[in-house]
Amino acid sequence: MLILGITIFFCHIGAYGLWEPDEARYAEIARETVSGGGWVVPHLNYVAYVEKPPLLYWLTAISFWMVGVHAVAARAISALAALGGLVATFFFVHRTFGRRHALVASAVLATSPLYAVMAQVLTTDMLLSAFVACALYAFYMHYLEGGRWCWWGYVAMAAAAMTKGPVGIVLPVASVGLFLLWQHELSGAIARFHAIAGAVLVAILVAPWFVAMSVMVPGFADFYFIGEHFRRALDPNYSHGEAIYYYVPVLLVGMLPWSMLVPLLAWRGMKPNPARRFCVCASVVIVGVFTLASSKLIPYVLPAIAPLSILIADGIVACAWPDEGGRAPLRSPDTRILAEAGPLLIALGIGVAAVAFESALVRSPYVAAVRFPMYAIGAILIVGGALITSAFFMRRMTAGLTMLVLTIAAALVAGTWARIDAEPLRSYAALSRVVAERTPDARMICFRRYVQALPFYTHKRVIVIGSQGELEFGASRAPDASRYFMNSEDDLIRLWSQPEQTVVVIDAPDLARLSDRLGAYTLIASEHTKRAIVNSALSRDTSDGQRSQTLASPPRRHSDISKELGFNLFGRHPERSEIFPTEVEGSRPVLGAFSESDFDARQTRARSFTPAAFVQGDDQKRRLASDFLAKLFGQASCAKICEKNDALAGN
């Protein structure tokens, strides 16, 4: 199970840039911590950032100090937390159910897509899940055996609170309380679990940071406890409001394909086991607490995956080895139920492949971006489902379950390529790296929206012009706020006009709207909707009034870029080939010859662009199309699209 977890959680962990906004934000806080920003008050863009307790930042900063500041070091904390939760689950189930249950439960947990995906994302959710799981397991072991288990539970609960606040205390306490109520053993629980001494221990571990923050940062208590917890939990208009049933589909999809087996498993006639009741209570409390909260996001429910995995494993073992999980001894294995896992996987694989095939009809750009990894996932599920079905029909329980786990694991590993392919849609790491390389001494400005990756990859403080967002609390208390936080376009033009070299990261529509006021500039990087432009040094070679555009990297042949992205963005209409723009100068295209006002019309025409259409035109039209795509989508995306079209067309 350890090898399985390491393979799934660490595969391609550093192959793509930090995603916006969470990963880049938390990594930058840790970078500023280790570079001298202070360990008590977290800082983002060098102003106080107090939305979360600091444990994740501390651990990430230690990782940076040990192995360097990069994506692997940042994501390693979540991956190690996921691995720790997996190991804790194995040992807990081994002590309370048995070794076979432990193997199946840890396999279900490691291969649940939501758990596996979040193991590679730098957020507080996986670290919280690991500490909550450890606290729950320790408290149950204390209920079962006594001894010192409860003290480990209180330490884990304090760590959970230092990761994400009071919810790290509420979840274990409410779960244990509901379980004791169900067992009719609630009376005497305070003495049994040394609750008063445990509360003192938690306070000793947690309170110093909160007290220090309240003293050092005026307004912290009101912002953190009232705004970030009470309002977030009770006010539906505060943040991320969703329907009451929001987490039902999240859990169904997040635990595929295991969740599809739940209605089929033989739950009746199983031996009574208080550990099963405890897992039911923990699952109900965790899902219930986050359901009742007004603010809802997919990762919030992650702590429920571990107890739910244990319950699903219990049902699987009861079918495959009924002498261990059922009431009647030596009952024959129910192969019909487990054999249905194969056809379910085949159906799921066909569905994934069908969505990839019809990606042009899906409005979300992510489906088109990850089209080819989806084909791979679909093929793995179809082939694996066929092998699993044959194994179960031959009554080879162990072989069938092993194939089931390996099939899901292979699909999850293939899914890591989807993250690489989706990077241009979710990360500004490439843009930020180019800015850092080409303008190392420039002043950095973000217009309208703060790009989280920019300070992390450039190691510089960024001037924010426009909405301050989550920086508002710190900016309002920063002594140099007037230098780094501004509001108007006039401020942008004033800074831009100064002789100091200045880089502005700006949305493409804003750049088109302000281009006349900005005057001459050099486009040094382009990614998704963002453009990075510089006002001097690189643009001094251009003539007065002429706007120079420089690619983010040297021109490359399409066949040199096949590793960066694989998808056909434009659908399948090979008969439509005459959609190329006609602006030319001699035999070569004019880079940036297309006005921003033409974008909407050209985007509409571009949606019918195909691999066949791309290669049907002559070389001149081909070059024009490349430059048109570079202008429309950014140079990096253009090169990736062109390369995949080459591959598909066999050119």
Q: How far apart are the first and last CA of the chain?
A: 44
Is residue 162 helix, strand or coil? helix
Specify the pLDDT at position 407: 94
pLDDT category, 193, cuts 50, 70, 90? very high
Q: What percent of the chain has pLDDT over 70?
A: 77
Mean pLDDT of the chain: 81
For 482, other C-beta atoms within 10 Å of its C-beta total 9
Is residue 445 helix, strand or coil? strand
pLDDT category, 119, cuts 50, 70, 90? very high
pLDDT in tens, 369-427: 888 999 999 999 999 999 998 888 887 888 888 999 999 999 999 999 998 888 888 88
502-507 and 530-534: which strand pairing?
A: antiparallel
Sheet of 530-534: strand order equals 485-486, 462-466, 443-448, 502-507, 530-534, 522-527, 548-549
pLDDT exceeds 50 at position 590: no
| Of the candidate ranges 100-104, 506-510, 617-621, the one whose mean pLDDT is the lowest | 617-621
The secondary structure element, H or E, covering residue 476 is none
Mean pLDDT of 448-462: 93
> Rounded to an integer, what distance in angstroms lies between the CA atom of residue 247 and that of residue 225?
25
Specify the pLDDT at position 623: 62
User: Residue 500 in contact with residue 443, Cβ under 8 Å?
Assistant: yes
Specify the pLDDT at position 212: 93
Specify the pLDDT at position 239: 60
User: Residue 156 in contact with residue 135, Cβ under 8 Å?
Assistant: yes
Specify the pLDDT at position 617: 44
Place of tokens 């303008």: 439
Mean pLDDT of 198-214: 95
Place of tokens 């199983």: 270
User: Residue 449 in contact with residue 549, Cβ under 8 Å?
Assistant: no
Mean pLDDT of 115-137: 96
Phi, psi of 47, rounded to the nearest 5 degrees = -130, 155
pLDDT in tens, 620-630: 556 666 665 66
Specify the pLDDT at position 568: 31
pLDDT exceeds 70 at position 249: yes
Specify the pLDDT at position 616: 43
Nearest to 562 by CA among 632, 619, 639: 639
pLDDT exceeds 70 at position 537: no
User: Residue 383 in contact with residue 411, Cβ under 8 Å?
Assistant: no
pLDDT category, 593, cuts 50, 70, 90? very low
pLDDT category, 571, cuts 50, 70, 90? very low
Mean pLDDT of 64-69: 93
Highest mean pLDDT (candidates 96-105, 128-137, 145-154, 287-296): 128-137
Structure tokens at 256: 């595929």
Partners of 530 in beta bridges: 507, 527
User: Residue 533 in contact with residue 447, Cβ under 8 Å?
Assistant: no
Mean pLDDT of 170-177: 96
Q: Which residue has the higher pLDDT, 606 or 120?
A: 120
Mean pLDDT of 243-272: 86
pLDDT in tens, 7-58: 999 999 999 999 998 999 999 999 999 988 789 999 999 999 998 999 999 9
* Helix, strand, coil percentages, rounded to 5, for the chain: 65, 5, 30
> Rounded to an integer, what distance in angstroms lies between the CA atom of residue 537 and that of residue 441?
11
pLDDT in tens, 322-368: 765 444 444 555 566 777 888 889 999 999 999 988 888 888 888 88
Q: 67 vs 61, 84, 123, 579, 591, CA distance in Å?
A: 10, 20, 19, 50, 42
Specify the pLDDT at position 645: 64
Specify the pLDDT at position 649: 52
pLDDT in tens, 90-116: 999 999 999 999 999 999 999 999 999
| Of the candidate ranges 210-224, 479-493, 601-615, the one whose mean pLDDT is the lowest | 601-615
Structure tokens at 69: 């500041």
User: Residue 217 in contact with residue 477, Cβ under 8 Å?
Assistant: yes
> Rounded to an integer, what distance in angstroms lies between the CA atom of residue 366 and that of residue 379?
19
Is residue 485 helix, strand or coil? strand
Mean pLDDT of 568-587: 28
> Rounded to an integer, what distance in angstroms lies between the CA atom of residue 27 and that of residue 61?
8
pLDDT exceeds 50 at position 601: no
> Rounded to an integer, what distance in angstroms lies between the CA atom of residue 265 and that of residue 261?
6
Give residues with Cβ within 8 angstroms of 249, minimum separation 6: none
Place of tokens 């909405």: 467
Give residues with Cβ within 8 angstroms of 192, minimum separation 6: 143
Partners of 445 in beta bridges: 463, 504
Specify the pLDDT at position 545: 38
> Rounded to an integer, what distance in angstroms lies between the CA atom of residue 343 and that of residue 403?
14
What burial letters (b/e) apply to 120-155, b meaning 16+ CB within 10 Å?
bbbbbbbbbbbbbbbbbbbbbbbbeeeeebbebbbb
Give 334's DSSP letter. Answer: -
> Rounded to an integer, what distance in angstroms lies between the CA atom of residue 626 and that of residue 639?
8
